[in-house]
Amino acid sequence: MPRFLTLVRVDENNVPEEGFSPEMGERMGALLKEITEAGVMLETAGLAPTSEGRRVTWSGGKLSYTDGPFTEATEVVGGYSIIQAKDMAEAVEWANRFLKVHDDAWTVTCEVRQITEMTDEG
């Protein structure tokens, strides 16, 4: 069964100050329990803010480093999941359900991409 990476994108400047409401936390917990028990969820986590990150770039034969926050970014990856689904349609349906547990004050985007399996050419 194919695996999919879901990148959860948020605007760090517009995350509600109060964070998750208790009701949203309950809805999220219920969904995570359901998707895990269904054998779909393989891994998930949130990410620290970009202010704590570092970008490493290879260009022109040299490495360069940029410490966060990354002010030019309007939307950043705030979390991810790796799920196993029968096809893209099922993966997107799980992403839809994840988005719908958020309170109306949130603006969240999920990018769903199939993971290509590496082959060992020996």
* pLDDT for res 42: 97
* pLDDT for res 120: 67
Query: Minimal CA–CA distance to 24: which of 105, 78, 90, 82?
Result: 105
The token pair at 40 is 């779909």
Cα–Cα distance for residue pair 11/75, rounded to 1 Å: 5
Q: Which residues pair with 56 in a beta bridge?
A: 65
Cα–Cα distance for residue pair 90/4, rounded to 1 Å: 10
The SS3 call for residue 10 is strand
* pLDDT for res 11: 85
* pLDDT for res 15: 81
Q: Are strands 3-10 and 41-46 parallel, antiparallel or unpaired?
A: unpaired
Cα–Cα distance for residue pair 96/100, rounded to 1 Å: 6
* pLDDT for res 121: 62
* pLDDT for res 37: 97
Q: Show the domains of the chain with their CATH numbers.
A: 3-114 (3.30.70.1060)
- Per-residue pLDDT in tens (0 to 9) along the chain, 122 residues: 999 999 999 988 788 887 889 999 999 999 999 999 999 999 999 999 889 999 999 999 999 999 988 767 678 899 999 999 999 999 999 999 999 999 998 999 999 999 998 876 64
Query: Residue 25 CA to chain centroid, in angstroms?
Result: 17
Half-sphere exposure of residue 95: CA atoms within 13 angstroms, side-chain side: 26
